[in-house]
Structure formats: C-alpha cells, structure tokens
Amino acid sequence: MAAFDATQPLTMAAGGILSPFTIAYQTYGELNAAKSNAILICHALTGDQHVANAHPLTGKPGWWSALVGPGRPFDTEKYFIVCSNVIGGCMGSTGPASYNPATGEAYALDLPMVTIADMVRAQAMLIDRLGIDALFCVAGGSMGGMQVLNWAALYPERVFSAMPIATAPRHSSQNIAFHEVGRQAIMADPDWRGGRYLEQGVRPAKGLAVARMAAHITYLSEEALQRKFGRKLQDRAGPTFSFDADFQVENYLRRQGSTFVDRFDANSYLYVTRACDYFDLAQDYGGSLARAFKGSRTRFCVVAFNSDWLYTPAESRAIVHALNAGGASVSFVEIDTDKGHDAFLLNEPDFIATTRGFLHGAAKARGLIEKEAAKS
C-alpha cells in the first residue's frame, strides 16, 4: 500500500483535488540493478491488483495467472511485475468506499469523478515511489488497455513497450449504453440510498448483481454462449413454465451476479464504468488520435480477438492506423477465437504465444536478455 499525503495531491481531470489518497498494489519478481525490467500490468473494469496471487476475498487464482508467473510470458523470474488497484476501485486504493477526512464517513458520491487519465497519473506517482524512471512494458486488456494507451500518450519517454489488448481508443455509444443499464440497475435498488448505503448498513446487492449479469453477456461471444450452454436446461427434465432459472445460461448469469457482489463495491462500479465512458483519447489531442502518439519511440503490440464485439478488431485497427500515422513502431495481431472479449483472460494459446514473442523481442531490444546471459 502506498499512501500519498497532502504534500502529494492528485489533481483530477474533472476538477478537484484528491488528497490524501492511497494506492494498493502487488509486486512479483525482483527489480534489477538498472531498474530496467519493470512491467506495469493494468487491470480491467472489475479487476484488481491480485493479478497472479490468490484473491484474498474469493480464494481464486489471480486473474492473469495464465500469463504471469515463473516461465510464463510475464516471467516473474525475469521481470519485476507491478499491478495496482485503480483510483476509484475498492480493493485498497482510494475509492467511493474509502474514508473521507472532510466528513468522517465514506466518500460515496463525494469522491471526485475519476477518469482513465487520473488512474494513470496515480500509477505514475506509484512508479515514482518505487524508484522506477522508465517501464520496460505497460500491458493490459479492456479498461486496462485504455490505461496502456493513456500511459503511452502521457509518458512516452517512460514506456519502452506497450501492449494494449482487446481495447478501444474511445467508448462507443453501445459501450456507454450497456454501462448505463448497469448503473441504473444499481441506482434503482432501494438499498442504494443515494449512494450512502454503507452509512446505513445495507448494500444494493440486487442491483449490482443485475449490472454484473448484463455486463457479463458482453464479455462472451454468441458462439461461446451457444457452445457452453445452448438451450440446455438446468437440472430438470423439462421447463417449469415459471420465472425460475430453467436454462443453464440463466443459472450461470445469476451465479456470476451473486458472487460478484461479495467482492465489489456498487459505487466503485458507477465510477469505473463512467471513467470508461468518458475515455476518448483523440479528444484530448485536438481530435487526432495520431497526435497522441506523434514521435513516440515506444514499441507497440496491439492485440484483438475476432469474436470480441465489445471492443471490436476494427477499433484496434484504428489504434494501429493512428500509431502508424504518428510514426510509432507497431505490430498488430488479430487472434481467431470464439471466446469473445474475455479471451484475453483465458488460456488462449495464440494469445499467450503472441505475448511471449513480443516481450522476448522487446527484451532483446532493451538489452535485458544479453545482460541476463552475461550474469550466468
């Protein structure tokens, strides 16, 4: 946990100052003497800092255990991995459930509105605190990919390589629409209490569960849903002709919703979804996405999945075109899979091979491989 006092405020893009504030983070591996092997992993919408260790609330493996660990693409025997919980989150970083020194209660909706850029600037302060001038790589998928793009735009001299995965340079109207359904489900729950539910000892669990159910549909492709569930019934010979969860897919979504509320704060869900909605990197650079990356020396690998309809391959190609126009070094990989948006979180062989190959090439260019060979 990194705590920043009143001498180190975070100026928010939407106005206001956040001070004091904390950033919860996990590290894996060791920082080399030159401090040149650090990788920042940015989590997605409802992720957290527990990228490769058992989650303290659920006991489940880290959300990117398939890629982070000894011998894996993000090799903890070669690299120093940092993953932080974003500002606005609910796993130790300052968010709406955190203590507000001005009132003595939780911030709730008094927390200033958070943007992706705010998350990145807070991460940069953490990286400073860790004594790291430049990152070997910044990587992340979905909302994490937005952070990667913002890192490359805000701090090009601090990012040697970047992997924006299954992401977009801005939120589409469809993305915003799905998020609004989730927010309205939360705020319509009688236990939301205008965001002050913690003070009153309740939680808008039903509304948050519905929000999660609606969002989870967007993380899967139609093919994946059909392959996993089809129209199969749940533990019954025939339909009950009721509103019970007759179908396996209904039961699956209900389970996703009920388990989610045990680890996530409803107001945090409002804040992080809104941060994604406001994300429009081109708008921050006079309407030109290419201008955001002009003259960048960062090496990029942009990854998309052909069955991802939440952040489509076309949106990844728009990033690639902008990087090319800005003169950046970029490779693009579109992976053939029926797993949809969530493919970046799963054991997808082509994606794992792509990540391993990109990092290996970047490590050679950075001189990390030769240095390690010299030590042995």
Q: Annotated catalytic sites, by residue? A: 142, 308, 341
Residue 75: name the closest of 120, 127, 32 by CA.
Answer: 32
339/292 Cα distance (integer angstroms): 31
86: left (phi over 0), alpha (psi -120 to 50) or beta: beta
**Helices assigned H by DSSP within 130-242:** 143-154, 173-188, 205-219, 222-228
| 192 and 261 Cβ atoms separated by less than 8 Å | no
Residue 214: phi, psi to the nearest 5? -65, -45
Task: Name the token pair of 116.
Answer: 């992706």
Angle value at C-alpha 50, between 45 and 54, nearest 5 degrees: 130
| 167 and 281 Cβ atoms separated by less than 8 Å | no
CB atoms within 10 A of CB 370: 11
315/336 Cα distance (integer angstroms): 16
CB atoms within 10 A of CB 297: 11
Q: Which of the 8 DSSP states describes residue 136?
A: E
178/85 Cα distance (integer angstroms): 23
